[in-house]
Structure 1
Amino acid sequence: MGNRNRRGPYVCGIDAAMDVVSGKWKALILWELDHHGVRRFAELRRGLPGVSEKMLVQHLREMEDDGLVHREVYREVPPRVEYSLTGHGRSLNEALAPLGEWGRGRIGRIGAERLRVEAAR
């Protein structure tokens, strides 16, 4: 599981799942790899506008430790590294699909509510 601090023991499956997918970018990394297949680091970074190099490296390492992402290093000059989803990563992405549907159905309302709250502050 790497050197990341885990909360466990978990109280339920949602608790464990949220620990694995915690962080702003992990679900988006899953989506990017699921929809575009094998990606190099720079391709992932271009597909995730706003993510810093440090954050992408950290999340990819954690996801590799959690068995969600496979990192393939090719011994070439210059070195080539590619990332892809494992079976666990694909199954997690499938589990997140209904959450994405829920968000798509409410994206306008969520955005409008956040603007309203910000304006009231």
Structure 2
Amino acid sequence: MARFKGLSLFQRLRHRSRVLGRMRRALTLFAPMLVDVVRGRYRPVPWSAMGWMLLALAYLVSPLDLIPDFVMLLGLADDVVVVGWLLTKVDRALEEYRLWREGENVERV
């Protein structure tokens, strides 16, 4: 089996799936977090999550990239990598909100 920096191919793929899960979780939690913050139900405001998401959106719409988009696949790949990395940062910053939300759901039942 191919090895890369001490990890087998299976371990690398499993790690990638966790990263994709974190990206998905960040995207699904960010909008409800904004609603809870605006309505005053959740404090303190997770400014770092908002900052990371703002950077991700700015990178997506900005014409300045690490690799220009006219370089077909590589131009899009750098967008995916950078925005994916930023979304994992958003997910980490939303950890306290996620715990709060899980607690709210338990109390409502």
**TM-score, normalised by the number of residues in structure 1:** 0.28
More contact order relative to length (CA 8 Å, sep ≥ 6): 2
Q: Give the structure with the higher percent strand.
A: 1
**TM-score, normalised by the number of residues in structure 2:** 0.30
